[in-house]
Each structure stands twice: as C-alpha cells, then as structure tokens.
Amino acid sequence: METLRDKVVVVTGGGGGIGVELGASFGRRGAKVVLADIVPAPLDAAADRLRAQGIDAVAVVTDVTDFDSLCATRDRAIDAFGGVHVICNNAGIGSGAKGAMWEHDLNDWRWSYDVNVFGIINGIKAFVPMLVAQDEGHVVNTSSGNGGFTPMPQAAIYPATKAAVTTITECLWGQLRLAGSKVSASILYPSSTVGGILNTGIWRPGANRPERFRRENDTEPQGNDTLEGFRAHMRSLGVELKDAPLDEIAEMCVEGVLSDTFWITARSAFQDEQLHSRLESQLAATEPSYLLRNSLDALGKRVGE
C-alpha cells in the first residue's frame, strides 16, 4: 500500500497495549481507525485518546473467538467509514497456566487457542474475502518471537499458539500470491530496537476469561499482574527491567505495511543466533539445547541490559 490516507484500519485488541498504539500510528498517517476489543471501558478510553489527537476513530466491542462478532465489526467499519483496507489481528492472551505442560489444565490450552489462533482465523475469514474482492488491502497478524522464532521452554501454551500464527500467516501470504491478488500479509513480532519488556495485557493472564474456560476447582483471582512479580524476581538477580516503547513497535508495523514487509521485527544479534541454532539443530538432528538460552530468566537478563 503506497499510502494510508483515508484508508480504513481495523485493530483487534485495540483497547490498550500495542493495539491502541497501532491505531494511533495508523491514524497519524491519515487512516480512519476502528478499535475492537472485548471490554468496553478501556476500549472507549482508547478511542477517545485517538480522537483527541484528531484521528477519526470508533470503538466496537468485539469477541475475536466469535466469527459473527468479527463480521459485525467489519460491517460496523463499513457503515462508519465506507470500507476496510487493513486488518490487524492483534488480540492475544497469556494462559496463566501453572507448572509443567503435563500439569496444565486443558482449559488453559482451549482458551489460548480460541483467542490466539482462532481469533486470527476468524479475522481472516471475516475480512479477507472483502479485501480480495476489492483487490486491495493488507493483513497483519501479531505473533511473538516466543514461539514464532524459538519458544521459551517454561511457557508451552503461548509459544505453541504463536508458532501456529506464524504458519497461518505464511500460508496466507502464499495463497494470496498464488491467487495473483494484490492483497498482502505480514506478521508482526513485537520487538524494540532499544530493548525492554513489553508491558501489555499478556502479563495479566486470566483477565476476561469466559466461564466455559474456567479451570476446574480454580479459586485464584483472575487477571493478576504477573509483571510486577517478574520485576521483583529479576531485581533479586540484580537486573532492573525497563519497558519497551510500544509506540516504536506500532511505527515499525506501519512502516512494514507500507513497504510490504512480511517479517516485521526489530532484528537483534540474539534473535539471529537463536534462529541459526534452531536451523543447525534441525539439519544436524541434534537436541534443541538452544532452548536453554531462551528461559524466562535469560529473557529478563537480556531486556534488563
């Protein structure tokens, strides 16, 4: 896409974190923005923030696990602004699962896949037929280096979902190209050139968890802020964590859409080393020892540097 002026962008997970920053970055380029999220209050506040910057923005309460809800969001965007040109499938959750993966509650898996994977699938099915019919548009799916590149071994569910998002997006790009469509696709790996931790809702697992995905006999409050506990743990190891600038990630995404970049990420030496190590392990059929360099503590030490 050569310009975003007067284009219409829909962002799921738009009520905070990276989502609202995506809306702001697209809006600064002249786009009209539809923010979609499941909780009304922060979603309305996010839209108000964009409108205060002079951005045409509307908020639509959306459940990405419900295909019909995403179709309704698409139709609301058309009613408000006359069409859709970019869909950012950005909504995602952390499972908050406890213990080893063989100890996880099955509903932790089900809920995470329903949001992180089927949320992307529903977004593709709701929006891509329209984009293909108009032969113009772009799809951005938010993945993560945790799974999309190499997984953190302690967190099985989240990286498994993000690995699925990566493969889905690769196949989407390939099918669009094979169809001769002018619609394109990108995958966003939230990352920063200046380092730091991503202070988003991912650190508040269990927030807005539907009753159908409750753990059996679970009395623990949902939506606890696990980031502060992680900060305290890293502080005990002599590492003070800083926050990554989410607006930089959003700007990187917008530039990626304009340049039709598939892998939207801030490259790093560690990332490159892990990718090479994974490929070498696959080619040589060796054990994946590179995973041990990608533990939660190792992550904290890197972002604290």
Q: Hey, which residues are catalytic here?
A: 158
Phi/psi of residue 60, nearest 5 degrees = -130, 115
- Name the residue among 185, 192, 208 with its Cα closest to residue 88: 185
CA distance 247 to 258: 17
- Bridge-based pairing state of the strands 184-188 and 8-12: unpaired
CA distance 48 to 122: 27
The secondary element (H helix, E strand) that includes residue 29 is none
CA distance 140 to 109: 24
Q: Which two tokens stand for residue 260?
A: 């039709």
Q: How far is CA 287 from CA 275, 291, 296, in A?
A: 15, 10, 20
Q: Which two tokens stand for residue 295?
A: 């533990």
Q: What is the DSSP string of 191-203?
A: --TT--B--SGGG
- Name the residue among 56, 74, 54, 55 with its Cα closest to residue 64: 74
